[in-house]
Amino acid sequence: MGRRLSSVAVVVLLGLVLAGSAAGPAWAAGRCGDHPWCDTSLSADRRAALLVEALTPAERIGLLAGDVPAISGAAGTHTGTESGVPRLGVPPLYLTDGPIGVRQGQATAFPASIALAASFDRGLAAEHGRAIAEEARAKGNDVVYAPTVNILRTPLWGRAFESFGEDPYLTARTGVAWIRAAQRAGVMANVKHFAANNQEGEQGPGDELIGSRYTVDARVDERTLREIYLPHFEAAVKEGRVASVMCAYNKLNGPHACENRTLLTRILRQDWGFKGFVLADYGASKHVGTGLRAGLDFEPFPYVDFDGGENLRPEIVSAAIAAGRASQADVDRAVTHLLRELFAFGFFDRAAYPDDESQIDRPAHLRTAEEIAEAGTVLLRNRSRTLPLAAGRLRSLAVIGADADRNINGGGSSNINPYSFTSPRAAITTRAGSGVDVRFDDGTDLARAADAARGADAAVVVVADAATEGVDKPCLGLDCGAQRGVQRDRLIERVAAANRRTIVVLETAGPVLTPWRQRVGAILEAWYPGSAAGEAIARVLFGDVDPGGRLPATFPRRERDLPTAGDRRRYPGVNEVVRYSEGVLVGYRWFDERGIRPAYPFGHGLSYTRFALRNLGVRRARGGVGATVSVTVVNRGSRAGTAVPQVYVGLPGARGRVQPPRQLKGYQSLDLRRGQARRVTFRLDRRAFSYWDTRRHRWEVAPGCYRIQVGQSSRDIDARGALALRGASCG
Ligand code: GLC
């Protein structure tokens, strides 16, 4: 007989139960007060319903939109403000940009999103999200408009630096880690821009844009949408539990994203179970009733109008209701979505976040920024061990290029005013030490720059591109876009001709053309490294740390090799319609399927040591579709370094269903000492073997032989295996 509870214990237990129910509501320690909706023992749904009921119709309408018509990014201001309802103790809601740092006065400029993706490191993605959320919170914000997860469909995209690159899996893993960490830090994340916001538009002959993000209609077939442009949003919702989603400016298959019922209700809420709220990009709401009924819940900035849209300002909403174009029920549904998430996230049950940046541990955040910048730096080329530089053996070093003296970042809503910044020139000079003659030339005079390089033990040329939200690059060369004086390609050529040990440090938003790559000793891609740019670049150059990055996007040999090149219907679009007719063949999928050799492939990146991947093991999952892939990574070189083994799966194609040769389905970044070996295991779930079936409108696993490839890039495959599924054989 089990041990019986003593009669005393039963009385005590009963007393506890009764006491709990008799105490009435469980008031939170926060700012909610003693209203019925402040009872934390109630569900978020119930609390939202009680509050909506207590609000007047006009107050509910007022909660649909932000109400401060200014976004300057100045200290003490917020990108978005919703003033709440003081009568009922509904607190103000503060929102801020963005994916690379907090655009509010000064802040830590973290490495750009593409640099973070290049680290292939989920732990660092969490660090990036946590640190930015901490700064957003210390400046009084409840929501941060990040991460940007749009796929880099064309490297011409003006916001390439804000993306996590061309692969949905890498983007999803990076985004989920970022969101979870940011929300654990107490700030609601806002995954953006939902969906298929993959271009800003090409600068036309006048000041108009061709294929502008505000007006372009992205025509994406169902399978491509589900397999390429949605998985990272799906992961943000299902795994990241993201609190909010920002709907994009563009149209998707007809309707604008912010009034696209398929996107905002059928896919987001019905298919994925999203419980948070949908907010509009700035000025992206189009028609009050259509938008609210499609699933738009909130417009933080209803003060811009790019093409005759109806904002959600109270007077416009009231007029729409009076004219029968919207209803109070539409309003109440949207406000309920917003309030429910605010209750669920604890927004009502805590004190307001004071705007007090003394709470920010700036030195710690600067170290985090530096660590991520180093881990995201990609060593593209290293002929005859040009790198690392040995300060003790250097007598002279030339540092060339005005960009070596500048803080490089992209323009627009992700442009951060850094608390501090160390330039590559300053940090390289410091790291070289007093025994090395470091001579600098800004590269504006090619002959003079070549003279400065000639005779030095090595020459470091630092060059940046120019990218900004609002307009795409006109071409992929280093000097495309906002002209900034020197011709950087020619500068590199002249310096390389003068010094055989020329090292090019790229600080770019994404892939660029590298016509001089065979004529230089080494190439580092540092992207937009942020506040600690100098320290990170110097430490990698001198080998204090291994370049940990791998390419999150393909570097083409020629611009015409890009999947979107040569067909204006694909990019930038014709008559404001852009056709994603390349389908699932985005990025390396295109290069691999078409057999095009890139300059540097997706996943590529060298180390100062060398690795081997051995003993591939592929084990089918028991009871269902899946597999465990294991491989031993060995450091065969003479120093410690960072390895990034990558797992690719080649799904079987079928008539009418093209499949790229391989797709990234697993990766890990690991540091190994000289001679160290480590067994790494990757778990591939059912989704890793699935395609989107457009007849059944769901994920399916086709019968066939699945090729498992493990390598150090998408083109450098060390080991191959196969897995037969659904009764097929691998022959
Ligand atoms: C911009 C961007 C968006 C940003 C918002 C607020 O238009 O598209 O990413 O968060 O406005 O600055």
Q: Could you report the per-residue pLDDT of 312-360, keeping only the tens digit for each?
A: 999 999 999 999 999 999 999 999 999 999 999 999 999 999 999 999 9
Q: 274-322: per-residue pLDDT in tens? A: 999 999 999 999 999 999 999 999 999 999 988 788 999 999 999 999 9
Q: What's the rounded Cα separation, in Å, for the pair 179 and 237?
A: 10
Q: Is 281 in the pocket of ligand 1 (CB under 6 A)?
A: yes
Sheet holding 677-684, edge to edge: 611-620, 627-635, 677-684
Q: 433-445: per-residue pLDDT in tens? A: 999 999 999 999 9
- β strands within 132-269, DSSP E: 143-145, 188-194, 202-203, 209-210, 217-219, 244-247, 251-252
Place of tokens 């390439």: 160
pLDDT mean over 410-420 = 97
CA of 143 to the centre of ligand 1 (A): 13
pLDDT above 50 for 15: no
**Residue-level pLDDT at 55:** 98
Q: What's the rounded Cα separation, in Å, for the pair 510 and 571?
A: 17
Q: Name the residue of 148, 149, 245, 469 whose CB sits within 8 Å of the most ligand 1 atoms, as the mutation to test its pocket.
A: 469
Give me the residues paired with residue 251 across strands. Answer: 217, 256
Q: What's the rounded Cα separation, in Å, for the pair 469 and 306?
A: 15
CA of 578 to the centre of ligand 1 (A): 21
Q: Is 421 in the pocket of ligand 1 (CB under 6 A)?
A: no
Atom of ligand 1 nearest to the CA of 145: 10
What torsion do the CA atoms of 320, 324, 325, 328 make, to the nearest 10 degrees? 70
Q: Of 481 and 270, which is predicted with more confidence?
A: 270
**Residue-level pLDDT at 610:** 97
User: Which residue of the set 281, 442, 479, 592 is catalytic?
Assistant: 281
Per-residue confidence at 623, pLDDT binned at 50, 70, 90?
A: confident
Per-residue confidence at 4, pLDDT binned at 50, 70, 90?
A: very low
pLDDT above 90 for 637: yes
**Residue-level pLDDT at 308:** 81
**Residue-level pLDDT at 2:** 40
Per-residue confidence at 21, pLDDT binned at 50, 70, 90?
A: very low
CA of 248 to the centre of ligand 1 (A): 9
pLDDT above 90 for 731: no
pLDDT mean over 484-500 = 91
Q: Name the residue of 281, 285, 298, 304 whose CB sits within 8 Å of the most ligand 1 atoms, as the mutation to test its pocket.
A: 281
Q: 184-218: per-residue pLDDT in tens? A: 999 999 999 999 999 999 999 999 999 999 999 99
**Residue-level pLDDT at 480:** 85
Out of 8-17, 48-57, 542-551, least confident range: 8-17
Q: Name the residue of 145, 161, 306, 414 whose CB sits within 8 Å of the most ligand 1 atoms, as the mutation to test its pocket.
A: 145
Q: 641-683: per-residue pLDDT in tens? A: 999 999 999 999 988 899 999 999 999 999 999 999 999 999 9
Q: What's the rounded Cα separation, in Å, for the pair 169 and 667?
A: 10
CA of 97 to the centre of ligand 1 (A): 7
Q: Is 281 considered catalytic here? A: yes
CA of 216 to the centre of ligand 1 (A): 17
Out of 66-75, 94-103, 667-676, least confident range: 66-75
Q: What's the rounded Cα separation, in Å, for the pair 264 and 254?
A: 14
From atom 9 of ligand 1, which residue's Cα is the shortest distance away? 413
CB burial class (10 A; 0-12, 13-18, 19+) of residue 615? exposed
Per-residue confidence at 489, pLDDT binned at 50, 70, 90?
A: very high
In this prediction, what percent of the chain has a pLDDT beyond 90?
93
**Residue-level pLDDT at 1:** 36
pLDDT mean over 603-620 = 98
**Residue-level pLDDT at 3:** 41
- What's the half-sphere exposure (Cβ side, CA atoms, 13 Å) at 345? 27
Q: What's the rounded Cα separation, in Å, for the pair 360 and 350?
A: 19
Q: Is 645 in the pocket of ligand 1 (CB under 6 A)?
A: no
Per-residue confidence at 17, pLDDT binned at 50, 70, 90?
A: very low
From atom 12 of ligand 1, which residue's Cα is the shortest distance away? 413
Atom of ligand 1 nearest to the CA of 162: 9
Query: Residue 66: is the preceding peptide bond cis (ω within 30°)?
Result: no
CA of 282 to the centre of ligand 1 (A): 6
Mean pLDDT of the chain: 95
- The CA-CA-CA angle for residues 529, 535, 541, to 5°, reads 95
Q: Is 413 in the pocket of ligand 1 (CB under 6 A)?
A: yes
What is 250-316 written as a DSSP string? Answer: SEESSSBGGG-HIIIIIIIIIIT---SEEEE-TT----HHHHHHHT--BBS-TT--SSS-----HHH
Q: Is 97 in the pocket of ligand 1 (CB under 6 A)?
A: yes
Q: What's the rounded Cα separation, in Å, for the pair 474 and 480?
A: 6
Domains within the chain, CATH numbers bracketed: 7-202+214-351 (3.20.20.300), 362-594 (3.40.50.1700), 611-725 (2.60.40.10)
Sign of the torsion formed by the C-alpha atoms of 161, 165, 341 and 17 = negative
Atom of ligand 1 nearest to the CA of 300: 6
pLDDT above 80 for 473: yes
